[in-house]
Amino acid sequence: MTRAVYAVATMDTKGEEIAYVAQCLRAAGAAVRTVDVGTSGPPTVTPDITRQQVTGIAALDAGGLRDSGRGEAVTAMSSAVRDFLLAEHQAGRVAGVIGIGGSGGTAIATAAMRALPIGLPKLMVSTVASGNIAPYVDCCDITMMYSVVDVAGLNVVSRSVLGNAAHAMAGMVAHAVAVPASRPTLGMTMFGVTTPCVTAVREALEAEGYDCLVFHATGTGGRAMENLVASGLVQGVLDITTTEVADEVVGGVFPAGPHRFDRILASRVPYVVSVGALDMVNFGSRETVPERFRDRTLHVHNAQVTLMRTTPAENREMARWIADKLNTATEPVVVLIPEGGVSMLDAPGQPFHAPDANQALFDELELCLRQSPVCRVVRLPHHINDAAFARALVDAFLSLSATRRNPDSGRIQKLNP
């Protein structure tokens, strides 16, 4: 079956509009299959793929899922179209996905888009694309286009916006980027305050023949890296900046999410972990800092970002959170601790220099991790941004990688302070 663009819409209310998108796509030379994900009345235009095919419920009547309530119907259809399009992609039939809709249609279509691989063209024309789109995009490469007017009929504005969207999708499908045969790919986490360390590690490993992807540790950055690991596009990880755990535990704006580390550990790739920027919790502008934290040590990074120094108690809680995850490892993991400080702000004379707080973090992490040939903690008397610490991270990874390639090569080499 020919690979095609799957054009997704609630065709009980957006049938005419998605038919116009399909017409524009075909005129641009793209094969198209319209997909009805309506949850109310019957489609106003006959789809190529019916909602019954999407849901697998052959007896789905014209009333659709509306009797279960709109919220429940949208959730059910989101799950169904996600599974349907993932199966279609795995069968080699999907060249790209374009969706149109309001908040409900956007929730349904983007649920499927988020399940599809990075690099597959995905475009959503939405009435909510000018607001907070994080719940729809998350850490996926979805292109969001604001519809300007409601997706309710064809007019001088909607024809232009929908036509542009169709031509953008046709261009993405017709001119797919040729990705050269890549070197082994590594993921690394970085914050501005750990940049010297990560840059040195990246340059050293690039010289060893690796292709290094650096992820900004802002909550979505860590999840994006884990998605690529799970998809097999990343073959090793240096999780140098685990600061997202601080926001997850304390309540900052860049939380790791409850499943951070899980997909990396499940993938069993070579994994080196450190505690970069665990001295800070992130908030927005200073006035957004919650009242209960107003008397804490705060540092205004810029007009939009205020950082809060973590306490010994918070650090112990973070250490336990990390240890609980890493204790599930079934392949060797090395945890490197920079006893000289975990960020640019955590150094003598800097606002977050607090050796007692660091000591609580380091001691609790070492205590809670079940050290074995599978998981080891190495404490080094360096600051995280010292060249010696970067070198230790590189050596730990190369040793893990060599051991993985050749299990008979012996135990992981000892890292000397």
Show the 3-state SS of the chain: CCCEEEEEECCCCCHHHHHHHHHHHHHCCCCEEEEECCCCCCCCCCCCECHHHHHCCCCCCCCCCHHHCHHHHHHHHHHHHHHHHHHHHHCCCEEEEEEEECHHHHHHHHHHHHHCCCCCCEEEEECCCCCCCHHHHCCCCCEEEECCCCCCCCCHHHHHHHHHHHHHHHHHHHCCCCCCCCCCEEEEEECHHHHHHHHHHHHHHHHCCCEEEEEECCCHHHHHHHHHHHCCCCCEEEECCCCHHHHHHHCCCCCCCCCCCHHHHHHCCCEEECCCCCCEEEECCHHHCCHHHCCCCEEEEECCEEEEECCHHHHHHHHHHHHHHHCCCCCCEEEEEECCECCCCCCCCCCCCCHHHHHHHHHHHHHHCCCCCCEEEEEECCECCCHHHHHHHHHHHHHHHHHHHCHHHCCCCCCCC
Same domain membership, residue 46 and residue 124: yes
Domain assignment of residue 258, yes or no: yes
Q: How far apart are CA 372 and CA 370, in angstroms?
A: 6
Same domain membership, residue 144 and residue 219: no
Note the pLDDT of residue 72: 85
Domain assignment of residue 180, yes or no: no
Read off the pLDDT of residues 62-80 as tens digits, 9 standing for 90 and up. Answer: 445 555 566 788 889 999 9
- Across 172-194, average pLDDT: 87
- Across 255-265, average pLDDT: 95
Same domain membership, residue 248 and residue 166: no
Same domain membership, residue 163 and residue 205: no
Domain that holds residue 160: 4-174
Note the pLDDT of residue 416: 39
Choice among 230-234, 247-251, 266-270 with the minimum mean pLDDT: 230-234
Domain assignment of residue 415, yes or no: no
Minimal CA–CA distance to 164: which of 143, 178, 150? Answer: 143
Would the pLDDT of 412 be above 50?
A: no
Sign (positive or negative) of CA dihedral 21, 24, 28, 34: positive
Q: Which of 174, 193, 218 is the last residue of a domain?
A: 174
Q: How far apart are CA 335 and CA 239, in angstroms?
A: 9
Choice among 91-95, 134-138, 192-196 with the minimum mean pLDDT: 134-138
Note the pLDDT of residue 69: 64
Domain harbouring 204, CATH code = 3.40.50.12030
Q: Which of 174, 204, 230 is the last residue of a domain?
A: 174
Q: Which of 139, 174, 209 is the last residue of a domain?
A: 174
Phi, psi of 174 (to 5 degrees): -75, -25
Q: How far apart are CA 145 and CA 129, in angstroms?
A: 6
Q: How far apart are CA 232 and CA 106, in angstroms?
A: 28
Mean pLDDT of the chain: 91
Read off the pLDDT of residues 114-168 as tens digits, 9 standing for 90 and up. Answer: 999 888 999 999 999 998 898 999 889 999 999 999 999 999 999 999 999 999 9
* Matching residue, tokens 């919790």: 281
Q: How far apart are CA 279 and CA 297, in angstroms?
A: 11
Q: How far apart are CA 15 and CA 134, in angstroms?
A: 27
Read off the pLDDT of residues 201-211 as tens digits, 9 standing for 90 and up. Answer: 999 999 999 99
Note the pLDDT of residue 404: 67
Would the pLDDT of 417 be above 50?
A: no
- Across 179-194, average pLDDT: 87
% of the chain exceeding 70 in pLDDT = 92
Q: How far apart are CA 197 and CA 190, in angstroms?
A: 9
Same domain membership, residue 381 and residue 277: yes
Q: How far apart are CA 166 and CA 174, in angstroms?
A: 12
Between CA 368 and CA 378, with CA 372 as vertex, the angle to 5 degrees is 70
Q: How confident is the model at residue 224 (pLDDT cuts 50, 70, 90)?
A: very high
Domain harbouring 157, CATH code = 3.40.50.12020
Note the pLDDT of residue 40: 84
Confidence (pTM): 0.78
Same domain membership, residue 196 and residue 161: no
Answer for the pair 5, 25: CB distance below 8 angstroms, yes or no. yes
Neighbours of 370 (CB within 10 A): 10
Domain assignment of residue 316, yes or no: yes
Note the pLDDT of residue 406: 58
Residue 116's alpha-carbon distances to 32, 161, 361, in angstroms, are 18, 24, 38
Domain assignment of residue 162, yes or no: yes
Question: 285 — alpha (psi -120 to 50), left (phi > 0) or beta?
Answer: beta
Number of domain units in the chain: 2
The CA-based diameter of the chain, rounded to the nearest angstrom, is: 71
Would the pLDDT of 2 be above 90?
A: no
Same domain membership, residue 199 and residue 125: no
Same domain membership, residue 255 and residue 134: no
Note the pLDDT of residue 414: 40
Q: How confident is the model at residue 61 (pLDDT cuts 50, 70, 90)?
A: very low
Choice among 7-16, 167-176, 220-229, 399-408 with the minimum mean pLDDT: 399-408
Phi, psi of 377 (to 5 degrees): -110, 130
- Across 9-28, average pLDDT: 97
Same domain membership, residue 61 and residue 9: yes
